[in-house]
């Protein structure tokens, strides 16, 4: 079981480089560091689990020297197990996968942690919290998707925030240790509801990279002390 955790003292903003200019990912990583955001969200898509393709471990390894941020890797892939060693070698701090894609999710989660990384689980909008109940005692992070994964710039599905509330309640009740992250459609308008529901980490792609003043956007999203 993880160490008990009642949420972070700070709201963490995790800009997603999915919304950055792919011809200058190093520049995007530096912008994230300069903005005061402490995490960098790295969306890995395989063209099968989601209808889009992005990048693999080499891109993360190449980016690593350009950023001090926590590398928060989100695997939206059919076969996460095959990518875990590569992302561990690339310097990922958190590796999150979708239990919807694998049969032996507990084994996948354990294999991330056995490599000395934090293990996360993520659920798409149609997946209920009950389906990951048996994994919750073991998870370092639970990422609630608030859009159907595959693309940045979509609108939040507000109902998904009820799952954040449920996860925060279960954590308190049972003394579990996971962080709660929300991903999809987070902007200045939607961030307050995500924070109120109990999220610790807010992933933001288009809101962050679309902002002229990125440090101001981190503050507008509520980054910093609660």
- Positions touching Zn ion (CB under 5 A) are 43, 74, 183
Q: Based on CB atoms, which residue is closest to Zn ion, 74 or 163?
A: 74
* Catalytically annotated residues: 43, 183
Q: Min. distance of Cβ 149 from Zn ion in angstroms?
A: 7
Binding site for ligand DX5 (CB under 6 A): 16, 18-19, 41, 43, 74, 147, 149-154, 183-186, 203-207
Decide if 73 contacts 48 (C-beta within 8 A).
no
Q: What are the residue ranges of helices labelled H in the chain?
A: 25-35, 57-63, 84-89, 105-114, 161-174, 191-197, 206-209, 214-220
| CB-nearest residue to ligand DX5 | 205
Contact 123/105 with Cβ under 8 angstroms? no
Decide if 121 contacts 96 (C-beta within 8 A): yes
Strands 118-123 and 141-145: parallel
CB of 169 to ligand DX5, least distance (A): 24
CB of 28 to Zn ion, least distance (A): 15
Considering CB distances under 5 to 8 angstroms, the limit depending on partner class, which of ligand DX5, Zn ion, none binds residue 204?
A: ligand DX5
Selection from Zn ion, ligand DX5, none that 152 binds (CB < 5 to 8 A by kind) is ligand DX5
């Amino acid at each position: 079981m993880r160490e008990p955790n009642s949420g972070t003292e700070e709201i963490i903003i995790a800009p997603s480089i999915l919304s950055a200019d792919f011809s200058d990912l190093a520049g995007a990583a530096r912008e994230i560091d300069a903005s005061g955001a402490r995490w960098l969200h790295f969306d890995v898509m395989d063209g099968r689990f989601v209808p889009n393709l992005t990048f693999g471990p080499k891109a993360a390894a190449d980016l690593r020297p350009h950023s001090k941020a926590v590398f928060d890797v989100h695997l939206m892939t059919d076969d996460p197990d095959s990518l875990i060693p590569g992302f561990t070698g690339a310097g990922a701090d958190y590796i999150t996968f979708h239990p919807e894609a694998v049969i032996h999710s507990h084994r996948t989660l354990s294999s991330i942690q056995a490599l000395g990384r934090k293990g996360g689980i993520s659920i798409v909008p149609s997946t209920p919290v009950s389906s990951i109940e048996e994994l919750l005692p073991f998870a370092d992070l639970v990422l609630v998707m608030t859009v159907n994964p595959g693309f940045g710039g979509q609108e939040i599905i507000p109902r998904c925030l009820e799952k954040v509330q449920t996860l925060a309640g279960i954590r308190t009740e049972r003394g579990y240790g996971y962080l709660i992250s929300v991903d999809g459609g987070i902007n200045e308008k939607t961030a307050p509801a995500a924070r109120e529901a109990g999220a610790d980490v807010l992933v933001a792609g288009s809101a962050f990279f679309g902002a002229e003043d990125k440090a101001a956007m981190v503050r507008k999203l509520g980054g910093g002390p609660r």
